[in-house]
Each structure stands twice: as structure tokens, then as C-alpha cells.
Structure 1
């Protein structure tokens, strides 16, 4: 039997036709994703905020990204969950715009942070002797400011000025004629613009930087046994930068980039193609791809916690309640001067 989102049947969107068992399974899966996202990113935020040894410019960039991902899990995913399972929006038209804008903003901000982290690691590997002088707290602050402000201006400006469906008004109102609809809609122009701004540019930066780091690390590995290279390594370690550590950073960056591409590429490709296919991609598939993209925010803290010993030690101290002990913020999480 067909059910509707609202009592006024002739202007209401159609509710989900899934059985209660299917809905319960979907809710359980999505709640698990939300809780994992919140808990994982909260652990990263607490670790960097509490432990003084983690108070480095790079880690403040990671802290900012974890904050973005935490807000995405707390402010966006719960409402997206209800919309995805019920196929209805019960929270009003104004909040629909706020939710959509916040969704685009935080998702894009998370991707922006990943690209800036890649740039930071590139500077650490390519010019380690001048890294501390070049990547200062001010530079990191500028990166963080850009990562928040550009997505915010882009997302809220596009949605509240209704630029996202400019040039495709007829199709937009045809798809949103019913009460209970709330899904992001892009015209051909705005879709390409969103694809370039939120995915193509930061993704290309990550890709180019990773390959550059990979070839540099490979070249360093080949010359590691050379006497002059050993002398240079000793000098760099004296300045707090080790080749081994940066090699691990390059490996981690590659995994971060791979996870990013796997999670977000399907959604952005479908998003930019949908207007050119006369909006033939089903809303259910679009919702599924959005949740696949959300998983990037779930995996980010796992990657850092798993690959960095300092974060693993911090996580253990948090879980066992040792952060409440006196002077726990000054605990030695690693031997080097940089994580």
C-alpha cells in the first residue's frame, strides 16, 4: 500500500516502500556509521587538544579536519539518515536549505583539509631543512581559514541564492512539486562548478602531490647507503626531521588519498553527469553514493590512529582514563620532536 509523507495526499511526496525489516537494517547501519564517525574524530580532537607533544602546526590542521568530520557526523548525517530511509523530509523547507548547505560545506571542507595536509607533507619531504621555517602556525591558520571559508561561501551562497538550479528551473520544479522533498539539485553549470571546486581541484592537488612525494621517497631510498646521503640524514634528524618518518607520512598520505578517491569519486562523477543524462540517476542511488562519501569522514581518524604510533598511544591513554591523571598532557608519546 502506497504511503505519503504528509496528510495532503495530492501535494505530498510518496513515502518509502521498504519493509520495516529493511528500514531497521538501514537505520542500524547508518547509526553505526554516525557513531563511529563521531567517536573516531572526537578521539583525534581530544588527543591533539590535550597532549602538548601533539601541538604541532601539522596536527592543528588534522585537528581542524577532525572537527569538520565530527560536525558532519553530528549535524548532517542524522537528518540525511531519516531522509534516505523514509524518502521524506519532515523538517521544513528552510531547514532543508540549511541542511543542504551545511552538507556541501562540511563535505567540501573535509576534502580541502585533505589537500592541504598533502601540501604540508610535500613540504616536509621535499624541503625538510626549511620545513619548520616555511610551514608556520600562521601558514597553517591560513590553510584552515581557506578550508572553512571557501566551502562555506560556495555552499550557502549557491543554495540560498538558488544558483544551483539556475538554467534548469523547469526540471527542478518538476522534481520538487511535492511536499517532503529535500535533495541537492544541480543544473549543468552549477554541477560542473561544484565538481571542479569540491572535488577536481583538491583531488588533483592530492594526486599530483602524492606522486611527487612517491618519486622523491623512491629516489631517497636508492641513495640511502651513500655516505654523503647519510651525512645529510644526520643533519636532517638533528633538525627534527627523519627520512623514515617522512616515508611513513608519504605512505599514509597515499592511503588517505586512495580512501578519498574510492569514497567520493562515484558520487561526484554521478553528480556532474546527472544533468547531462536528463536526471536519469535514481534518487535512491544518489543517496547511497552520498553515504559512501560520508564514509571518508569515518575512515580519516582510523587511518591516522592506525598509522601514527603517537596517536595510538594517545588513544590508549584516553580509553583507559589516564588523561585525568596529573600532568598527563606532558606525557611522552614519541621520542622525536615532531610526530
Structure 2
């Protein structure tokens, strides 16, 4: 098969993928379906939390902000990545390549920053409930949300536009990897380690430790509540109410722990390859790296599905959205779950 290039009249143009339609069409179908599911699912989460007053809680504000991150990833990043992945060509210019890459890194990093703060929120809710409302208030949540957006933005766009991601490996990049019509997510040894540590390994380790602590304390609380039920009837009624509250908090922690687990599973291949590829002379094929990127993108698709599976309130809210009941008078005051 004759080689085709992204720009036939330009020297050192990238090679274009010459896959048959039997491969290209399923790839486009899969990627378009993933994009639409990501946008629709996260839009449903955004509308639900923004519309229903009962859902205006600190934890849900963090979930809302994370859903906006995933929604923007589906709208602004994934469509262009789809064309790059299938065609192996970038037709949108060098400047937009930098903007796209910076936005991609920023939103991916912002997701795990949100998850880190959500784990802190759950820690206080389950492990220190008496001080939860004083520790996790609206101001605290606002600081968490701003931190989750601002630091990843400074890190991602600063690194890409100042070309810090290539520092120390410019010769390798321009001699062996660069070609006209490509848009590469390239990291040197140092920048690959720093990016992986900041965006994935360090916050992921912190979250695992926090959720481990939550799990241990939640089990201890469950045993104490079980032992307390042998007391007199008045105390039993009080314990029952406490039990319902604690069960709700533990379920929320379990749900968000599942979301964290999905994130770690989806993004582990990409960040591990990012960290080790510079040390192995970039022997990992670009098509494999690209596949890891899409596995990571799937995390943004799965999050709303986790909400739908675990949260009754989300299923009820989704039903009201689909049937247009959110346009009814006072629908925002609908009780989606019992306090």
C-alpha cells in the first residue's frame, strides 16, 4: 500500500493512517458514541445539582464542578483528539495544537484534584461528623474548587506554551519524533516524572490513604452501632436515626471511592507510560499511547454512570429531566431523597 501523508506537498510531513473503512468507521462510531455519552451524562449531572435545591450541599458542589470538567473535556478536547487518533494528522494549526494539549492536560489534572478534595470532604463527613459543617463550609468548598481549576491551568498551559515539557530532550523530539501535521503530547524525562507525580501518582496515593482510613473508621462505627442496639428502646430509636445518617455517609464515601477507583484504572496506563517512556527511548508506539489516552477519556464517560448506579437521587432527577418536569413550577424544591 502506497504511503500517504498529511500534507503531500510539505517536506517531513507526518504519515497518514491508511486504514480501511472496516477499521476507520468502527473507530469513529466508538469515539463519537463516547463523546456524546460523556457530554450527555455530565450535562445531566450539572442540570440535576444546579436545579434541585436539595442537592445544594458541599459534596455535590464538588461533584458539580468535576462534572463541568468532564463535560468540557467531551466538548472541547475529545472531538479534535478523535480526528488526530483516526487520521494520525492534525489539521488545526500549531497554535491550536498547544491550546488543545494544554486544555487536555489541565482538565485531566483538574479531575483528580477534584477527587482529592472530595476524599477530604468524605473523610470529615464519616470520621469527624460533629465538626463536618464547620470544617467543610461554602467558603472551604469554593477554595477547593478554585484550587482544582487554577493550579492545573497554570501548570498545563505554562508547561506547554513555555515548552518545559520538552526541556532537555529538544534534539530527540525534533530529530526523531516531530513531523509536520502532528500534534504530540511529548515529555522529557524530568517533565514526564513531574507531570505524572503532580497529576496522578501523588494525589492518587493520598486518596487511597484517605479512603483506607475512611473504610477502617466506617467499619468501626458500624460495629459500635450494632452493639448499641441492645440498649433500651429510647436509646435504640436514637441509635437507629444515627445509623441511617451514618449509612448515608458511608454509602456516599463508597460511591465516591468507586469513582476514584475508576479514575485510577482508566488513567494508570497513560501516566505509567508517560513516566517510563522517556527512559526507554520512546519505544512505546504512538498508537499505544493514543489508545491509553482514550482509555483515560473513558473515565469522564463512566462517572455519570456510577452516579446513576449508586445514587437514587440522580436516577429520579434524570427521569424528571428526560420528561421535562424540571420546567414545572417549584420543581426545584422536589424532594429527591429523605433527609
Fold shared by both chains (TM-score > 0.5): yes
1:304 and 2:307 equivalent?
Answer: yes
2:291 to 288, 293, 308: 288
Q: Would the aligned equivalents of 1:13 and 1:178 in 2 still touch at CA under 8 Å?
A: yes
CA RMSD of aligned residues (A): 1.9
SS of alignment partner, residue 16 of structure 2: coil
1:322 to 311, 320, 325: 325
- State the distance in 1 between where 2:93 and 2:226 align: 66
1:203 and 2:207 equivalent?
Answer: no
What are the superposed Cα offsets for residues 172-221 of structure 1, whole Å, 9 maximum, x if unpaired? Answer: 11244421111110000000000110001210121011111111111112
What are the superposed Cα offsets for residues 69-126 of structure 1, whole Å, 9 maximum, x if unpaired? Answer: 0000000000000000000000000000000000000011011111111111111000
- State the distance in 2 between where 1:229 and 1:283 align: 63
2:254 to 247, 251, 254: 251
- State the distance in 1 between where 2:18 and 2:237 align: 64
Structure 2: gaps of 5 or more residues: none
Task: Decide which moves more: 147-156 or 226-235.
Answer: 226-235
Structure 1: gaps of 5 or more residues: none
Task: Decide which moves more: 198-207 or 60-69.
Answer: 198-207
Task: Decide which moves more: 81-90 or 218-227.
Answer: 218-227
Q: Would the aligned equivalents of 1:76 and 1:103 in 2 still touch at CA under 8 Å?
A: yes
Q: Would the aligned equivalents of 1:44 and 1:63 in 2 still touch at CA under 8 Å?
A: yes
1:242 and 2:245 equivalent?
Answer: yes
- State the distance in 2 between where 1:247 and 1:313 align: 21
- State the distance in 1 between where 2:271 and 2:90 align: 23
CA 1:135–1:177: 2 relative to 1, 3 Å: closer
Aligned residues: 335
What are the superposed Cα offsets for residues 275-330 of structure 1, whole Å, 9 maximum, x if unpaired? Answer: 00001010000000000001111111111222111111111110111111111011
Q: Would the aligned equivalents of 1:164 and 1:186 in 2 still touch at CA under 8 Å?
A: yes
SS of alignment partner, residue 224 of structure 1: helix
Hey, what does 1:115 align to over in structure 2? 116
CA 1:143–1:233: 2 relative to 1, 3 Å: farther
